[in-house]
Amino acid sequence: MTETAVQTGFNQDAFDAFLAARDEPAWLSDLRRAAWEKFLELPMPSRQDEEWMRTDIRLFRLDRFGFPAEAEASQLDQAEEGLLRQGVEVGGHTVAVDSRPLASELSDRLREQGVLFGALDELVREHGDLLRPHLLARAVDPFQDKFAALHAACWSGGTLLYVPRGVEVEEPLHQLSLLSAGGVELGHTLVVLEEGASATLLAESASLDPEAAGLHCGAIELLVGPRATLRYVNLQNWGTGVWHFAHQKALVDQDANLQWTIGVLGSRLAKVNQHVALVGTGARAQVNGVMFSEGRQHLSYHTLQHHEAPHCTSDLLYKGALQDDSRIVWRGMIKVDPGAQKTDGYQRNDSLILNREARADSIPGLEIEADDVRCTHGATTGRVDDEQIFYCRTRGMTRNEAVRMIVAGFFQQVSDRIPIESVRVALGEAIARRIREYE
Amino acid sequence: MIAPNTNRTNESMSNTETLKITDLHVAVEGKPILCGASLTLRRGETHALMGPNGSGKSTLGLAVMGHPAYEVTSGSVELDGVDLLELDPDERARAGVFMAFQRPMAIPGVKMADFLRHATTNVRQPDRKEGEELIPMREFRKELRGKMEQLKIDPEFARRYVNDGFSGGEMKRAEILQLAMLQPKFAILDETDSGLDADAVKLASASIAEIRGGEMGILIITHHERLLEHNRPDVTHVMLGGRIVETGGPELAEELHRDGFDRVRADHPKAAAQEAELEKLQKEEAVG
């Protein structure tokens, strides 16, 4: 091997230039510097790490990527409306390309009520003191691993939704994150609902070029205050060349409600930690996952339902359908702390395999340290049954109609849990479009 | 070999209004199961197909419908002169054949109403391409409700998932409902009475008679007399060892119900030997 030092785009000079240009509160710059040191220090995860055993990123080359470039105006013209906004009256809307905010709207009424919604990196300049206790401080650990540290040091753009105490936002808010060909997306999502507030955020991501390479290294923090209600939908629909690494964590406080729905359709490889912490007595969380993989996609989702307080409920249902040579790894854990009595925890993962080469790994787990709890889990893996297809065909349906119907039926149970029609329709149609013709 | 003794349809219609099965041979995984079955069913006729377990009755139905595991090695099946064996199962359904399954498959998550709306549209509009409009929801619901009322089926049924968690009786009711909605030219009813109590069989029998009117040709595979109560067979076929060995009138069905198949076995030693052979093969399979 020759001694050519590969210049990573994420190098010290680039970081210093990035930081100098940001004009941010000092505490945030300090946080970025500390995370940057951690990023330099930590090794790239490997298959020796238990969490990465089933996820091979040896082909991932971080040096091919760097800080996001300025978005060009022409990219805005190409920006789509997104799938989740169809037929929905929204209270606000943001669009970003490669973490660069392009457009942001919020209804006057919500603005007057003190709601903040828009690009996080713009809003944090104005509202630094308000956000300091929340941003990368309570939920996501900026030093957890190399990707978390990279994100914490270099994030830009992003989305903030802040809803003051007691304000109920009726209309959903919509966020669209786009990647250009070869682009990098380091957006950070921060949602803060103060006591008794409620809101619905529909977030989605897509690539402007569906096959081009790209990198998303992101984090999501959902901070649901006492008696607050958050419905959060995240549709990951990147192109098939995108590497997707993310740490996502929600804190659900006393008697608060979180409904978190993820749709996972895109990316070349996704490695996501989705963590729901029930931190206040009587908190409730429902987590819904709809996944569809194809080609050589690898989707790896690690979920954690962490019961830290008593009398909390968590209910997770992940359903994934797989075709071609794709693979889905789900590893779920319900963790119950010693004090979390009267916990009601549930997790279930169902996989439907459409052809022989696809593979689903489903690994549920329980770690219970309280004695008065009810925790159950289940996992199933099945294939589309030839007898089912034949039965549908004797009723006049073509083979493809039969397969689409069986797959739609497979997702029905999780779809029934999603109260927002545009989300149900968008997911259903996106999946139906992806199902290949089989013979 | 088979000449149904009925004059209900005139000879000139027989080529265009028949389901004609001729010398059908069928193998599953290379093993012969049907060894030459022939029958001609005209529209408006009722035929009973009887025979001991394993004689090939269901195989005949599944082969007519085009089940991929049932390989037709020789013979023909024609519907109104069209070669059915050249068609995919869904094309056969759209051409007008239907089978009520003995054990219909569950399709979890798919509501009966949605399933039937799709099926009914395709069968009524045989040229419909995937993605084209279905029968309008309102119109379809009204028709479905009417049929369910007529067949004394709980309206809740429409919202349940296809055969998912259905009792044996509910599955049979659901198959009859599908028959009513799809109105095929020819229907094969595979033990639509099995698993039902006496009252339910009576209801099923009456329902079938009502649905078919005078137009549908039906082939009833059954062990029981009661299903034939409202559907007196014009023709009775007896199957043994993968062959149709006798064809007669309604009195043949009555005799078999009364006396069983011993006389048939005695009269057709070759088919009886084949029956024993097939049984042996199946047992070996079960053991191996």
Is B65–A405 a contact, with Cβ atoms under 8 angstroms apart? Answer: no
Give which of A266, A254, A377 is closest to A316, Cα–Cα.
Answer: A377
Instruction: Quickly tell me which residue has 């944090």 as its tokens.
Output: A124
**A392 reaches B (C-beta below 8 A):** yes
User: Which chain A residues are Cβ-neighbours of B115 within 8 angstroms?
Assistant: 392, 395, 405
pLDDT, position B84? 97
Question: In the numeric block, which tokens belong to residue A278?
Answer: 């029930």
* Cβ A67 vs Cβ A14: under 8 Å: yes
Provide the 3-class DSSP secondary structure of residue A296. Answer: coil
Question: In the numeric block, which tokens belong to residue A67?
Answer: 């800080």
Query: How do strand A213-224 and strand A257-264 relate by DSSP bridges?
Result: unpaired
CA B170, B176, B181 angle in degrees (round to 5)?
A: 125
Q: What type of residue is B187? A: A
pLDDT, position B53? 87
User: Which chain A residues are Cβ-neighbours of B110 within 8 angstroms?
Assistant: 405-406, 408-409, 412
Provide the 3-class DSSP secondary structure of residue A96. Answer: strand
Residue B156 has pLDDT above 70, yes or no: yes
pLDDT, position A70? 63
**A408 reaches B (C-beta below 8 A):** yes
Question: In the numeric block, which tokens belong to residue A436?
Answer: 């290949």
Distance from CA of B264 to the nearest CA of A (A): 33
User: Which chain A residues are Cβ-neighbours of B118 within 8 angstroms?
Assistant: 395-397, 401, 405
Is A406–B107 a contact, with Cβ atoms under 8 angstroms apart? Answer: yes
**A147 reaches B (C-beta below 8 A):** no
Residues of B numbered 37-76 whose beta carbons fall under 8 angstroms of chain A's beta carbons: which are they?
Answer: 65-68
The partner residue sitting opposite A410, judged by closest CB among B67, B88, B109, is B109
For A410, name the nearest residue in chain B, comparing CA atoms only: B109
* Structure ipTM: 0.93
Q: How many CB atoms lie within 10 A of CB B96?
A: 22
Distance from CA of A276 to the nearest CA of B (A): 28
Alpha carbon distance A90, A170 (integer Å): 9
* Cβ B247 vs Cβ B219: under 8 Å: no
**A410 reaches B (C-beta below 8 A):** yes
Stretch among A32-41, A101-110, B160-169, B228-237 having the lowest mean pLDDT? B228-237
pLDDT, position B231? 85
Per-residue pLDDT tens digits of chain A, which is 439 residues long: 333 334 458 999 999 999 999 999 999 999 999 999 999 999 999 988 888 999 999 999 998 899 887 655 555 555 568 889 888 999 999 999 999 998 899 999 999 999 999 999 999 999 999 999 999 999 999 999 999 999 999 999 999 999 999 999 999 999 999 999 999 999 999 999 999 999 999 999 999 999 999 999 999 999 999 999 999 999 999 999 999 999 999 999 999 999 999 999 999 999 999 999 999 999 999 999 999 999 999 999 999 999 999 999 999 999 999 999 999 999 999 999 999 999 999 999 999 999 889 999 999 999 999 999 999 999 999 999 999 999 999 999 999 999 999 999 999 999 999 989 999 999 999 998 998 876 5
Distance from CA of A408 to the nearest CA of B (A): 7
Is A409–B108 a contact, with Cβ atoms under 8 angstroms apart? Answer: yes
Alpha carbon distance A289, B13 (integer Å): 58
Alpha carbon distance A323, A295 (integer Å): 7
Give which of A352, A354, A349 is closest to A317, Cα–Cα.
Answer: A349
Instruction: Quickly tell me which residue has 């009595």 as its tokens.
Output: A341
Give which of B202, B237, B174 is closest to B48, Cα–Cα.
Answer: B237
Provide the 3-class DSSP secondary structure of residue B287. Answer: helix
Question: In chain B, how long is the greatest CA-to-CA distance?
Answer: 58
Q: What percent of chain B has pLDDT over 70?
A: 93
User: Which chain B residues are Cβ-neighbours of A393 within 8 angstroms?
Assistant: 66, 88-90, 93
Give which of A190, A191, A199, A129 is closest to A167, Cα–Cα.
Answer: A199
10 Å CB burial of residue B97 (0-12, 13-18, 19+) is buried
User: Which chain A residues are Cβ-neighbours of B106 within 8 angstroms?
Assistant: 388
Is B92–A394 a contact, with Cβ atoms under 8 angstroms apart? Answer: yes
Q: What are phi and psi of A337, to 5 degrees?
A: -75, 160
Name the pLDDT band for B287 (thresholds 50, 70, 90).
low
In this structure, chain B runs to a length of 288
Is B119–A412 a contact, with Cβ atoms under 8 angstroms apart? Answer: no
Question: In the numeric block, which tokens belong to residue A63?
Answer: 């040096």
User: Which chain A residues are Cβ-neighbours of B88 within 8 angstroms?
Assistant: 393, 398-399
Q: Indicate if the alpha-carbon torsion angle A138, A140, A142, A144 is positive or negative.
A: positive
Could you list the beta-strand ranges (E) of chain B: 18-28, 31-42, 46-50, 70-79, 82-83, 97-100, 107-111, 161-162, 186-190, 217-221, 235-240, 243-248
User: Which chain B residues are Cβ-neighbours of A411 within 8 angstroms?
Assistant: 109
Q: What are phi and psi of A365, to 5 degrees?
A: -150, 150
Alpha carbon distance B253, B235 (integer Å): 9
Segment B85-93 shows an average pLDDT of 97
User: Which chain B residues are Cβ-neighbours of A399 within 8 angstroms?
Assistant: 88, 90
pLDDT, position A2? 35
Provide the 3-class DSSP secondary structure of residue B140. Answer: helix
Residue B285 CB contacts under 8 Å (≥ 6 apart), including other chains? none
**A399 reaches B (C-beta below 8 A):** yes
pLDDT, position A348? 97
The partner residue sitting opposite B105, judged by closest CB among A388, A399, A413, is A388
Stretch among A302-306, A397-401, B2-6, B39-43 having the lowest mean pLDDT? B2-6
**B181 reaches A (C-beta below 8 A):** no
User: Which chain B residues are Cβ-neighbours of A409 within 8 angstroms?
Assistant: 107-110, 161-162
Q: What type of residue is A30? A: D
Q: Could you give the domains of chain B?
A: 1-44+66-86 (no CATH), 88-214+230-235 (3.40.50.300)
For B184, name the nearest residue in chain A, comparing CA atoms only: A395
* CA atoms lying within 13 Å on the CB side of residue B19: 28
pLDDT, position A354? 93
The partner residue sitting opposite A413, judged by closest CB among B98, B99, B109, is B109
Q: How many CB atoms lie within 10 A of CB A167?
A: 18
pLDDT, position A75? 55
DSSP type of residue A5: P
Q: A-B interface: how many C-beta pairs under 8 angstroms?
A: 85
Is A399–B65 a contact, with Cβ atoms under 8 angstroms apart? Answer: no
Question: In the numeric block, which tokens belong to residue A162?
Answer: 């802040």
